[in-house]
Structure 1
Amino acid sequence: MTHDHDIVLRPTPQQTQAALNPPAGRNGGDLVVETLQGLGATTVFGLPGQHALGMFDALRRSSLSYVGLRVENNAGFAADAYGRITGEVAPLLLSTGPGALMSLAALQEAAAASAPVLAVGSQVPSAGLGGGRHGYLHELRDQQASFRDVVKSVHTARTQSQIPSAIAAAWESALTAPHGPVWVEIPQDVLLAQTELPVVTAMDATPDEVVPRPELTAVAAHLLANARRPAIIAGGGAVRSDACGKLLALAERIDAPVVTTFGGKGAFPWEHPLSLQSWLEDRHTTDFLEDADVLLVVGSGLGELSSNYHTFAPRGRVIQIEADAGKLGSNHDCLGIHADARLALSALLETVEPRRDETAPERVRTVLAAVRERIDAQELTLEQRLLASVREALPDTSPSFWDMTILAYWAWSAFDARHPNTMHSAQGAGGLGYGFPAALGAAAADPTRPVLAVSGDGGAMYSIAELATARQYQLPVTWLIVDDGGYGILREYMNDAFGEATATELARPDFVALAESFGVPAVRTTPESLAEDLAKSFAEPGPSVVVLPAVLKMFAPTHL
């Protein structure tokens, strides 16, 4: 009997001939880039180093586009953003020891945000592995141990024949829901040695989908259809799984108000009658969600920020749809459905009976009015005007990337992302320096749209070197730097907690002159001219910098 897979596995005469006559001049690095190409990669990020030169030499014999950043951590942030924007695996090529370790903060953010980054790092020569006593440059006793607690999975290739399988396994792990970063390491001598192995051809490392169990879907559908006051919290998983259309359809089918988490920005239309928007650091919103008799949580673990700093205490029944099984019920008792958000919402749409609640839009309006009244009472008009100016200037479909800065903290709650997968920040792990290099990665993914990066002056100093990257590759990123002379949010925290701030005030450069020294056009703006200056920058090709001197204040959150 002949099976389909027998036919697939049998090489054609042309394949056999090519395998028996591989091109000369290839090394182990070629096996790396050929495998990446065979899996579907088109763009790689990274920074070369001594032990990794075999991979970088192989790039010139490949069709892969290479985007080289100036700091490994920034290269990781760029790959993170590429993975978020495309939903595809973003390869990140790194060297050994210091080069590898410099990427850890970026890989932590990718893990927290479920971004599919495939980091391929080199190692010292095989003879020096495992001891840490051989005196090789960059040598670590156990390099993998540094990554094991950060990434989803660790893979090694100690011979050339192991390279394709190790990278394919890592690729599948990165794309298995929930997406995340993975680590592969290969010794220097394996990468440099000439190879007579055949050229790696197309490979399939597509992971199995995480499908909801039908008996759980049936219970969830029954609870939602019979609820008196259902509500929905939509997290980043709804965006990553492309479930936003299903989310809208379900909310309208059962008249359930929807609030999006900071990671789920854009998952639900901002101005929809059922939209509670994103005011999670607000007791009015928290009270409304606590009052729901059935709460559907889609693609969120209800962590610190999504639970109003763990003050949220739901009184009703919680249904949690989550691709990360470890997050199911981790913060609240629930009916846990381990599934991809899109598949679970599709199953609910096929199962749930419609319910009508003409009071839902009015209840939503009441909550939003209370939120607005509270914010307006704080007289923070400058901050609201700046966000409005950014929204006015930014094209609706352009992605934005926000560093850990006061304007970004406002944006988490108050910015209308307008489209799914267009607003991103580092609030997963919370490291500084994310905004600009991440925006470069997004621009590399789609250079046809202008991209916005927002940083404070403190966070901007982490990424100044990448102005050279932006110029070298002519990436269409406008970098808005809000210059308040220090770590503004930490200044606020310390003043509130201790009555005085320490170590928050910073000497900084003339950002306009500095950008221009890199050949990047720059302008110093004002709150009144911000929208116009941003719009001009978005309309011009290539990178640009807009500097806004301003001291902003954070709105007072309400946890009680």
Structure 2
Amino acid sequence: MKNGGDLVVETLSALGATTVFGIPGQHALGLFDALTRSDLTFFSSRVENNSAFAADGYARATDQPGILFVSTGPGALTALAGIQEAYASGVPMLIISSQIPETGLGGRRKGLLHQLDDQKTSASNVTKSQETIHKASSIPYAIEDAWRTALTAPQGPVWVEIPEDVLLDETSLPTPGTLQIEAPHLTPHPGSVARAAEMLSQAERPAIIAGGGVRRSGDVAQNNLQQLAEILDAPVICTPGGNSALSYDHPLSLGGWIEDRYVTEVLENADVLLAVGTSVGEVSSNYFTMQPRGRFIQIDAHVRVLESNYPGLGIRADASIALGELISTLDNAETIATSSWDGQTSSQLVEAVRHRIEQRLQDQDLKHEIGVMDAIRAAVPDGALTYWDMTIAGYWAWNVWDARSGTMHSGQGAGGIGYGFPSAFGGAIGLGQRVLAVSGDGSAMYSIAELAAARQHNTPVTWLIVDDGGYGILREYMQDTFGQATATELARPDFVALSESFRIPAVITDAAGLEDSLRQAWDADGPNVVVLQTTLGMWKPTHN
């Protein structure tokens, strides 16, 4: 007889899952034992929040839900910080957590190991939905529903918890068989599309902010974005989540300089500003310094973000569908206004803004920082995936990284550190090819234990650790604000020796040797580490 754990893995396999991340735990033993009777491949991390980051990185690489198995109480709580990033960034994940036995649920019995008063409530802040399964017959249907919910826009993590005895109890329920799940599409209201098209067709200075929702909607959305920009002759700026949604070499692309004041002024001067797939939150609004003077249109799959920061016309829809319908409506418009920015065409404006940004960076003596970013870009193949931690190099990447035919991912949704390496671990597993992780020495220590996981699974991840001896970005913030930094300087290990103790090749380099070191690492087998000992400064996003 099979048990509840078998039903879990059978249902996941029926849905098309192949890969599971996590760490075993006492109440979840039935779940992990069932893996031995399934075709699912399990990848063991060393800390639960890193398992969550790995599932996140896998989902971003494959467009399939990342599957995470966690145990009750401490294991579940430790995973929440990683799950928060997926929730904030709209990454589909399915978390299967164990629970204490049925007899202990609801506070009727205290003192059970790992017991929480209400574990599901703990997960409610970072997941789209939460479900506790009480009977084995509910398992296939609950997991099927959770899979659909995770993939339904706005995508995100979904929580399913199963008591220990339900996982272990025998059941005669048959195997689900193949399950075909199609997530529903969010179509915009026709009246809202017509109104948005009317506003855009009359605009003389239209501009577009492209967020993560555009990129997550795939090639169709990105092609639609380019087509719409060309129809309107509108400059486009990409948020960190929307990195390279419009090719950086397109004449209408302002790249990723969302934090630059020159770009902010363009957006403020637009008579119609269209934001697609973004909440226009703290970073995407240049820390709320942006104050649009024209009319504002916002398209997003998440209804609660519409007009959350700026008033205007809110449209709830998938980015690809909304952009496509705007294009169709504009194709039938009688006239579309000719764009003009104080006598400049949009492409001339974009070229001028790019030049101003480049000149300002030169005036701030940032050749070293630009050289480091250029070296990384030159060494990494065009189609590669990169995963960036919340570190100064990552902040530079938000603005300057041209993903080209690859994709750039970072932990900017929730902003927690430690994202880079474990998410890249998951991405490399999903792709089956090498990816790049970038961390600072401070954030690297959050996930240093995952070198063991990378070695165990021989995962092709190149980890660039920029070692400046502390929390570099916090040092910058505190020095700028208070004139001195406090508690930002860190004792750290010899990263090369530590990596080699895990039997992982590692080298130390300087800015001049960075490109060659990364190229050699890229051509190697399995995991490897490149340590760059340098201090990177931040640019000043103002005119002076």
Category of TM-score, reference length = shorter chain: over 0.9
Cα distance in 1 for partners of 2:69, 2:205 equals: 50
Q: Is the CA contact (8 Å cut-off) linking 1:132 and 1:140 kept in structure 2?
A: no
Q: Is the CA contact (8 Å cut-off) linking 2:437 and 2:463 kept in structure 1?
A: yes
Tell me the residue number matched to 2:294: 316
Q: Alignment RMSD, CA only?
A: 1.3
Q: Is the CA contact (8 Å cut-off) linking 2:275 and 2:298 kept in structure 1?
A: yes
Q: Do structure 1's residue 30 and structure 2's residue 16 form an aligned pair?
A: no
Match of 1:101 among 59, 62, 77: 77
Q: CA deviation at 1:167?
A: 1.1
Q: Do structure 1's residue 71 and structure 2's residue 47 form an aligned pair?
A: yes
Tell me the residue number matched to 2:514: 530
Q: Is the CA contact (8 Å cut-off) linking 1:132 and 1:139 kept in structure 2?
A: no
Cα distance in 1 for partners of 2:456, 2:286 equals: 42
Please show how residues 499-518 of structure 1 align to structure 2 within 5 Å. Answer: 499-518=483-502
Percent identity, aligned pairs only, is 56
* Local SS of the residue matching 1:102: helix
Tell me the residue number matched to 2:163: 187
Q: CA deviation at 1:419?
A: 3.0
Cα distance in 2 for partners of 1:376, 1:304 equals: 27
Gaps of 5+ in 2: none
Tell me the residue number matched to 1:387: 373
How many residues matched? Answer: 534
Cα distance in 1 for partners of 2:375, 2:283 equals: 26
Q: CA deviation at 1:133?
A: 4.1
* Local SS of the residue matching 1:263: coil
* Local SS of the residue matching 1:442: helix
* Local SS of the residue matching 2:213: helix
Cα distance in 2 for partners of 1:140, 1:325 equals: 32
Q: Do structure 1's residue 151 and structure 2's residue 127 form an aligned pair?
A: yes
Q: Do structure 1's residue 211 and structure 2's residue 187 form an aligned pair?
A: yes
Q: Do structure 1's residue 425 and structure 2's residue 418 form an aligned pair?
A: no
Match of 2:357 among 371, 383, 391: 371
Q: Do structure 1's residue 198 and structure 2's residue 182 form an aligned pair?
A: no
The amino acid across from 1:274 in the alignment is L
* Local SS of the residue matching 1:259: strand
Q: Do structure 1's residue 397 and structure 2's residue 365 form an aligned pair?
A: no
TM-score computed with the length of structure 2 as normaliser:
0.96
Match of 1:440 among 425, 442, 451: 425
Tell me the residue number matched to 1:18: none
Tell me the residue number matched to 1:337: 315
* Local SS of the residue matching 1:314: coil
The amino acid across from 1:439 in the alignment is A
Tell me the residue number matched to 2:392: 406
Tell me the residue number matched to 1:279: 257
Q: Is the CA contact (8 Å cut-off) linking 2:10 and 2:38 kept in structure 1?
A: yes
Q: Is the CA contact (8 Å cut-off) linking 2:204 and 2:338 kept in structure 1?
A: no
Q: Is the CA contact (8 Å cut-off) linking 1:440 and 1:475 kept in structure 2?
A: yes
* Local SS of the residue matching 2:254: strand
Q: Is the CA contact (8 Å cut-off) linking 1:255 and 1:355 kept in structure 2?
A: no
The amino acid across from 1:314 in the alignment is P
Cα distance in 2 for partners of 1:544, 1:184 equals: 35
Q: What does the per-residue CA deviation read over 1:422-467, in whole Å, with 9 as the maximum and x for residues that have no partner?
A: 101101101010000000000010113x200000001000111111
The amino acid across from 2:514 in the alignment is L
The amino acid across from 1:418 in the alignment is R
Q: What does the per-residue CA deviation read over 1:399-423, in whole Å, with 9 as the maximum and x for residues that have no partner?
A: 0000011111111111111136x10
Q: What does the per-residue CA deviation read over 1:530-554, in whole Å, with 9 as the maximum and x for residues that have no partner?
A: 0011011111121100000101111
Tell me the residue number matched to 2:348: 362
* Local SS of the residue matching 1:264: coil
Tell me the residue number matched to 1:305: 283
Q: What does the per-residue CA deviation read over 1:232-291, in whole Å, with 9 as the maximum and x for residues that have no partner?
A: 100000001111111111111221110001111010100111011111111111111111
* Local SS of the residue matching 1:120: strand
Q: CA deviation at 1:558?
A: 3.2
Tell me the residue number matched to 2:20: 44
Q: Do structure 1's residue 416 and structure 2's residue 402 form an aligned pair?
A: yes
Q: Is the CA contact (8 Å cut-off) linking 2:103 and 2:109 kept in structure 1?
A: no
Gaps of 5+ in 1: 1-23
Tell me the residue number matched to 1:121: 97
Q: CA deviation at 1:132?
A: 6.8
Q: CA deviation at 1:203?
A: 2.4
The amino acid across from 1:523 in the alignment is V
Q: CA deviation at 1:68?
A: 1.1
Q: Is the CA contact (8 Å cut-off) linking 1:114 and 1:178 kept in structure 2?
A: yes
Q: Is the CA contact (8 Å cut-off) linking 2:386 and 2:408 kept in structure 1?
A: yes
Please show how residues 432-471 of structure 1 align to structure 2 within 5 Å. Answer: 432-448=417-433, 450-471=434-455
* Local SS of the residue matching 2:6: helix
Q: CA deviation at 1:28?
A: 0.7
Q: CA deviation at 1:366?
A: 1.1
The amino acid across from 1:161 in the alignment is S
Cα distance in 2 for partners of 1:66, 1:153 equals: 24
Match of 2:528 among 544, 550, 560: 544
Cα distance in 2 for partners of 1:520, 1:559 equals: 45
Q: Is the CA contact (8 Å cut-off) linking 1:471 and 1:542 kept in structure 2?
A: yes
The amino acid across from 1:111 in the alignment is Y
Q: Do structure 1's residue 249 and structure 2's residue 227 form an aligned pair?
A: yes
* Local SS of the residue matching 1:496: helix
Cα distance in 1 for partners of 2:542, 2:101 equals: 56
* Local SS of the residue matching 1:222: helix
Q: Is the CA contact (8 Å cut-off) linking 2:360 and 2:543 kept in structure 1?
A: no
Cα distance in 2 for partners of 1:409, 1:132 equals: 49
* Local SS of the residue matching 2:72: coil
Match of 1:53 among 15, 19, 29: 29
Q: CA deviation at 1:88?
A: 1.0
Q: What does the per-residue CA deviation read over 1:47-82, in whole Å, with 9 as the maximum and x for residues that have no partner?
A: 110100111111111111111111100000011111
Q: CA deviation at 1:204?
A: 3.6
Tell me the residue number matched to 1:4: none
* Local SS of the residue matching 2:512: coil
Tell me the residue number matched to 1:520: 504
